[in-house]
Structure 1
Amino acid sequence: YTYFIVHYHYPGKSSTTGVDTTFTDFIRLNFSPEVTQINSIQNKNDQLLIPRETETYIKSPAGVNTEIVFPFSQISKKLQSQALNQANLKIYAVPDDQTNLKFKLSPPNYLLLINKDSLNGFFERRKMPDNITSFYASFNKTEYSYDFSNIAALINHYKEANNGEIPDLTYYLVPVDITFTTQSYYYGQTYQIPTNFYNLMTPSAVTLSKAFEDFNLKMIFSEF
């Protein structure tokens, strides 16, 4: 679901002391798929869109996404002669005290990794990551990272779809909000599974490191 909170303040007199004071309050506006709505959010992101050698940015709402180009064509021959077992993608963020951002916002809790060509209509049609061509990762506050784990299925999918000649792929990292449902195993332990993905409307921002050791895809192959 999506909601919008408006905080406001107004002057008045205290009901107990009669002294001039300032009152604060907020209004929570809830939206649902049944309510017709027009959302228009504008941001000034010019500085964040300037390409930089060492870092890239993500911001919400309606802000900045990070674009990733996977140069898979460079290893196309290797993918034809060897089997890909694992492809681990882990991306590290830059701690707030090491950034030059004027305003500090909390990093988004979740990032969606999705093909550039698949983003249009993803949220409108209430789609979910299929763990084949799209994935999501949660923010690790201890390591300050997003771990997408094994995305070998993505590479193998596009390899098969292109007769073994996998092309370069352009992907986006998009901040999202997720709702979960809790289920349990027969022995009582509970676990959560995602039920809906939404564009993140809460203000958030994160700086991702582009250093080789912080932003790379580690792959493990085996011989046929």
Structure 2
Amino acid sequence: MRRKFIAACMLAACIGMVSCDDTTNTLGGSLIDNGDKLSIKADTFSVASETMLAGSVIARSETGYLGKMIDPETKSTVTGNLMSQFHILSNFQLPAKDSIMSRDANNEIIADSCDIRLYFTTYYGDSLSQMKLTAHELTKPVEEGKVYYSDFDPEAEGYVRPAEQGGIAEKRSFTLTDFTEADNIRNKKNYNRNIIIRLNNSYKDKNGVTYNNYGTYLLRKYQENPSTFKNQYHFLHDICPGFYFKIDGGAGAMAQIQVAQLNIYFKNKQDGKVSAISTNFVSTEEVLQLTNFSNDNTLLQQLANEPEHTYLKTPAGLFTKLSLPVSEIMEGHENNSINSAKIILYRENNKTTSKYQFDIPQNVVMLPVDSLQSFFKNNRLPDNKTSFLAAYNNATNGYVFNNISGIINLFAYNKTMPNWGKVVIVPVELRTVSQGSGNGNKTIITKVSHNMGLTSTKLLGNTSTGKNIQISIIYSKFNGR
């Protein structure tokens, strides 16, 4: 037993020296005596692949997306429509009614103006592309504690307040470079790009009361009951459920929305002076922000049918499915241990010259097809047993999975799985934290979610022989006396 333990400890060093069967048949004898020989064998097998439509995926990205883009490589389109709510701090307060100087003919307080600003730092495409959107008022908030998918549509699900009932449906043409703002504002160092939706038209609330604009509605509701503005639940359910920003026209740009901000502007008297005040209701991680994505599924299916390669495309676009040759791998090796199973997925370089081509997915996970939904629904992390993470490797121009032996063993001893032998490659976003300092610093993955950014790449494969994808297996076995 002691000799077996020593041999097992040295196995990792052996694996690095293994190249083919011709050099491994007698390797065990060089480690221990002939009483208990450790034999090591290596073999390679072809892996079949195909493209599968992702369909709707669980949407847990902390970034919102708004816009419409056409992939220069595949000509497929993707549209992102954003739903956002607003967060209220527990100590929120507005100035006393008597200090608000903005008044109407009846001496009632009013807001001079009101707007929503969608702030972004990163975007895809051409910032001068002309786009159109409509800002829809929600009739009820999207509740926490539920799983939402990338195709969640607030309109179809009855969350949008109809315009004929007084709901806001503010239309806006825009470019990501906003020329409606003065140059001296846009040229400031601390200027943050944003899409402005002005809510200055007459507004009728659910009780049939009319206000000169949405900001006045908020001001007066606060004066009626300030406590509703200090409780997030009551603010969402009684005052402002949120807004849905839907792309109505144009293509060529998509912004990654970091913050949605609702502003009220009014004159406030302080120390005998009159000044403009902006009150902010900001979207944060504490409230929901969901993107509804729509793809050209007809074109996606055509891409999935193409031979000689497969695709990875996000958001909610295309995954690559592999059929692992488990029966071939295990044939004649039923009593062996699989110590290593390495697979490399090589890219086919993008041949387009457009400066707006989509990014290469930087991180992907491999997991059994049958675990696809549960992995993301249950917020699991790659465990290097039945789910594996790989980063794009520029040197190999692909994704290297150094050892997926756990998945091979899973299939070898559980043949009742509906999608037996099949794994899926899924582009993901990672949330990480740093622990420790100096040489002891480590990056820890705390969350893995579907990649909702615009990425696309082709992978070699999807041939009748599977020659473009191979899996390298290393077996070991103790030959007892």
Normalised by the size of structure 1, how large is the TM-score?
A: 0.79
Q: Distance in 1 between matches of 2:404 and 2:305?
A: 29
Deviation of residue 51 (structure 1)? 3.8
For residue 304 of structure 2, what is the aligned residue in structure 1?
A: 49
1:62-211 counterparts in 2 under 5 A?
62-97=316-351, 104-161=357-414, 168-184=420-436, 188-210=439-461
Q: Distance in 1 between matches of 2:284 and 2:405?
A: 36
Q: Distance in 2 between matches of 1:82 and 1:121?
A: 31
- Judged with a 3 Å threshold, the aligned counterparts in structure 2 of structure 1 residues 33 and 134 are, in CA distance, closer, same or farther, namely farther
Q: Distance in 2 between matches of 1:32 and 1:122?
A: 26
Q: Distance in 2 between matches of 1:100 and 1:12?
A: 32
Letter of the 2:426 counterpart: V
- Tell me, what secondary structure is at the counterpart of 2:303? coil
**TM-superposition CA deviations, 1:21-59 (whole Å, max 9, x none):** xxx94352458775345543111213311141x111010
Deviation of residue 94 (structure 1)? 1.1
- Judged with a 3 Å threshold, the aligned counterparts in structure 2 of structure 1 residues 220 and 39 are, in CA distance, closer, same or farther, namely same
Q: Does 1:2 align with 2:62?
A: yes
Q: Distance in 2 between matches of 1:39 and 1:79?
A: 49
- Indicate if the aligned counterparts of 2:411 and 2:421 stay in contact, CA closer than 8 A: no
- Indicate if the aligned counterparts of 1:131 and 1:153 stay in contact, CA closer than 8 A: yes
**TM-superposition CA deviations, 1:108-148 (whole Å, max 9, x none):** 11011111111113223211112111111000123211011
- Indicate if the aligned counterparts of 1:113 and 1:135 stay in contact, CA closer than 8 A: yes
- Tell me, what secondary structure is at the counterpart of 2:341? strand
Q: Which runs of 5+ in 1 are unaligned?
A: 17-23
Structure number with greater Rg is 2
Normalised by the size of structure 2, how large is the TM-score?
A: 0.39
The one of 49, 58, 75 equivalent to 2:312 is 58
- Indicate if the aligned counterparts of 1:72 and 1:168 stay in contact, CA closer than 8 A: no
Letter of the 2:64 counterpart: F
For residue 20 of structure 1, what is the aligned residue in structure 2?
A: none
- Tell me, what secondary structure is at the counterpart of 1:42? strand
- Indicate if the aligned counterparts of 1:114 and 1:135 stay in contact, CA closer than 8 A: yes
Deviation of residue 158 (structure 1)? 3.3
**TM-superposition CA deviations, 1:169-205 (whole Å, max 9, x none):** 11111110001122248x7332312110011011000
Greater strand percent: which structure? 1
Greater helix percent: which structure? 2
Q: Distance in 2 between matches of 1:38 and 1:5?
A: 9
Q: Distance in 2 between matches of 1:138 and 1:83?
A: 27
Q: Distance in 2 between matches of 1:173 and 1:29?
A: 28
Q: Which runs of 5+ in 2 are unaligned?
A: 1-60, 67-122, 124-173, 185-191, 196-256, 260-282
Higher relative contact order (CA 8 A, sep 6+): 1
- Judged with a 3 Å threshold, the aligned counterparts in structure 2 of structure 1 residues 125 and 81 are, in CA distance, closer, same or farther, namely closer
For residue 194 of structure 2, what is the aligned residue in structure 1?
A: 26
- Judged with a 3 Å threshold, the aligned counterparts in structure 2 of structure 1 residues 32 and 140 are, in CA distance, closer, same or farther, namely farther
Q: Distance in 1 between matches of 2:362 and 2:476?
A: 35
Q: Distance in 1 between matches of 2:353 and 2:303?
A: 11
- Tell me, what secondary structure is at the counterpart of 2:401? strand
Letter of the 2:194 counterpart: F
- When the two chains are superposed, the root-mean-square deviation of aligned CA atoms in Å is 3.2
Q: Distance in 2 between matches of 1:92 and 1:133?
A: 22
Q: Distance in 1 between matches of 2:182 and 2:258?
A: 27
Letter of the 1:47 counterpart: Q
- Indicate if the aligned counterparts of 1:70 and 1:168 stay in contact, CA closer than 8 A: no
